[in-house]
Amino acid sequence: MEWASRTHIGKIRNKNEDSLFADEKSNRIFIVADGMGGHNAGEIASKLAIEKVSEMLKDNLDNLSKVDEFDIENLIQEAIKEANTDIYKKSLSSNSLDGMGTTITLALFVDNKVYFGHIGDSRAYLLRKDELTQLTEDHTLVCELLKNGTITEVEAKTHPKRNVITKALGTEESPLPDTISYNIKEEDIIILCTDGLTNIVDNYEIKKCFKNESDIQKACDYLVNQANDRGGFDNITLIAIRYTHS
């Protein structure tokens, strides 16, 4: 397994409320989170989510090859739910933390499969040969309007409420995370990223970058630089994982 990551504050925000995690010991757990809330609340929420979820997944890593797919997805859901409880309770402890929340998107590699857990508008992609597929569905108002045919994809790009999130970690007592799994193949690249990237750099550019640049760290750096060169309106975070069986 080969992976690379990059996070950047961007050019407008005064702090980086994104968080990321890569388990350097196992090379099997990868997470991005994009916090929201006033003062330091977003930063606190994203860090809490990363810490809780990564801790639960790491504690159970040794047993995952012995259980079925349902048990693995259930573990991911339970980890995200417990993180949600921690964030929600902390948000009630102080006025400055009231309403804080975070997105979370994670990838967990078990044998020849990758499992995802997801809440919010951060994303997971799969790049396989010449095809880039968005694996997660954005939990946003614009995505709902697109699905019911109220707006077109062209209108979605400039919709005044395109940043409204319909589901986030910590903002309600028990949101249900999405969990999905995919069979993974040699040389597949999994990309996890926050909307600071995808709101500015489109899917075609992401695919082209990773196809043209064999060094995935350089690819991550290039994409972050592109987002900043076009305004850097938000924090920008991504992790890229190239799967190899060895």
What is the distance in angstroms between the CA of the first residue and the CA of the last residue of the chain?
A: 7
Dump the DSSP string for 176-219: PPEEEEEE--TT-EEEEE-HHHHTTS-HHHHHHHHHH-S-HHHH
Residue 71 tokens, joined: 């048990």
Residue type, 6: R
Q: Where residue 154 sits, what CATH number does that domain have?
A: 3.60.40.10
Task: Please give the pLDDT value at position 39.
Answer: 63
Task: Please give the pLDDT value at position 246.
Answer: 62
Exposed/middle/buried for residue 14 (C-beta within 10 Å: 0-12, 13-18, 19+): exposed
Looking at the structure of the chain, the number of domains it has is 1
Task: Please give the pLDDT value at position 20.
Answer: 98
Task: Please give the pLDDT value at position 156.
Answer: 73
Dump the DSSP string for 16-82: --EEEEE-TTTS-EEEEEEEESTTTHHHHHHHHHHHHHHHHHHHHGGGGGGS-HHHHHHHHHHHHHH
The boundaries of the domain holding residue 147 are: 2-242
Task: Please give the pLDDT value at position 40.
Answer: 73
Q: Is 145 within 8 Å of 159 (Cβ atoms)?
A: yes
Per-residue pLDDT of the chain (246 residues; tens, 9 = 90+): 899 999 999 999 999 999 999 999 999 999 999 999 766 799 999 999 999 999 999 999 999 988 999 999 999 999 999 999 999 999 989 888 988 999 999 999 999 999 999 999 999 999 999 999 999 999 988 878 877 878 777 777 777 777 788 899 988 777 789 999 999 999 999 999 999 999 999 999 999 999 999 999 999 999 999 999 999 999 999 999 999 876
Which residues, at least 6 apart from 206, have a Cβ–Cβ distance to it below 8 Å? 125, 132, 191, 197, 198, 223
The torsion angles phi and psi of 68, rounded to 5 degrees, stand at: -90, 175
Task: Please give the pLDDT value at position 146.
Answer: 78
Backbone CA torsion sign across 68, 189, 127, 22: positive
Q: What is the pTM of this model?
A: 0.94
139 three-class SS: coil
